[in-house]
Amino acid sequence: MKKILLIVIIILLVLLLLPIYNKHNISYEKISNNYDIYKLKGKTNNNVDIFNSSKNDVIAPGSTGIYHFNVQNNTKDLLEYNLSFKEDNKYNINIKYRIKLNDKPITNDWSYLKDIKLKKNKLDSYKYDLYELEWKWFDSNNDSNIEEDSFYKLNIITESNGVKKK
């Protein structure tokens, strides 16, 4: 009897919560728990931890990882958005990146973030773009000067504007 009651409660909870997760009819099949979500609302500045994707406990020269995120348009309007990056890298850690947008490479070669430009991307209503930001710490002459407790911060900045429909 307790098992049946528990099953009924679980089914009711799923039925009650389902509309909340899909209230905008957005397709979530490709979004896994590994993706951070950035909703387009004017200008946003998101501090991200790209290193939790590393397989190592210690980040050092030669370390690599991938950070996944998506940008969502949760409005009824077509939006145009810019995506930029800001680093706090006072130790000049030699980290370079490659980035993909919806599984298509934007950069093929390893690049510094200042060289990656993502401007005037259009996003239809209730849709999302999937990004994959791959990083690698390349060896450099200043690696021995980097202290054990040093830090590296990365912010992802989104700016969006509505686009007039014709």
CATH of the domain at 86: 2.60.120
The model's pLDDT over 40-57, given as tens digits with 9 standing for 90+, comes to 555 565 666 666 654 555
Is 2 inside any structural domain? no
Kindly report the pTM of this predicted structure.
0.69
Is 15 inside any structural domain? no
> Is the model more confident about 160 or about 52?
160
Please report the pLDDT score of residue 2 as a whole number.
67
Is 31 inside any structural domain? yes
Please report the pLDDT score of residue 24 as a whole number.
28
Among the ranges given (33-42, 69-78, 123-132), the one the predictor scored with the smallest mean pLDDT: 33-42
Is 55 inside any structural domain? yes
Q: How big is the chain by its Cα radius of gyration, in Å? A: 20
Is 8 inside any structural domain? no
Is 42 inside any structural domain? yes
Residue 100 pLDDT more than 90?
yes
Residue 25 pLDDT more than 60?
no
> Is the model more confident about 162 or about 132?
132
Is 79 inside any structural domain? yes
Question: Which residues span the domain enclosing 144?
Answer: 27-162
Is 14 inside any structural domain? no
Task: Give the separation between CA 61 and CA 40, rounded to whole angstroms.
Answer: 34
Residue 95 pLDDT more than 80?
yes
Please state the domain count of the chain.
1
Decide the pairing of beta strands 79-88 and 35-39.
unpaired
> Is the model more confident about 13 or about 149?
149
